Structure 1
């Protein structure tokens, strides 16, 4: 099992990139937890609609636009992830600065591309 990833902004809709990311992460033997607006399950991963205190989060992969992220800055920082991935459409220079100040690595990239090219 690879290090734990939190898919933040997970969707039950199969045509959403966050949904596909959960499926690809599971197929890649990555431990996955997920937060979204609606409870449910994707590829055997439960999507929580409450902010839980997850332990040992290596990566947070974001699927929320810049405006919606602000409400979650403190929560994401409190998880002390090793890195945060800003998927296309989620880029946020303000949050980059906050992450830098908290010694959390970040990258503007695509989880699906990273997985497909063995760079995850």
Structure 2
């Protein structure tokens, strides 16, 4: 289980409150996770959370990378994700990717197909 100060990265963070990635950010904050970075090609900040465009701009190894990006858009990001080397990747519903799962598992990264919101609410995060 991650600790409150562990880095959480939200791939595909949105500034739109009705988007699941935004809801996940808010719920992570509610459950005490303060070290959150979003990844989005154009946003710089969402409600006080820093957003970067490239994985190289993430300062250290995250505990969890939670994914909110369509698998077609995700495919070109696989090398960057594997190089980031998170301890765990959560593929939220609709983001499942065999290619990412295989590449991550080959590097020893845990991959979970689950909903971050459900994991948090049921204390399984």
**TM-score of the pair, normalised by structure 1:** 0.92
Is 1:112–2:95 an aligned residue pair?
no
Residue matched to 1:41:
45
Q: Distance between the aligned counterparts of 1:23 and 1:47, measured in 2?
A: 14
Structure ranking higher in strand proportion: 1
Is 1:14–2:34 an aligned residue pair?
no
Alignment of 1:1-120 (within 5 A): 1-30=4-33, 31-51=35-55, 52-120=57-125
Contact 1:12 1:38 in 2 (8 A): no
Deviations 1:11-40 (CA, angstroms, capped at 9, x unpaired): 111110001111111111112111113324
Q: Distance between the aligned counterparts of 2:68 and 2:98, measured in 1?
A: 15
Change (3 A) 1:76 1:5: same
Structure 2: stretches of 5+ with no match in the other structure: none
Root mean square deviation, CA, Å: 1.3
Structure 1: stretches of 5+ with no match in the other structure: none
Q: Which runs of 4+ in 1 moved over 3 A?
A: none
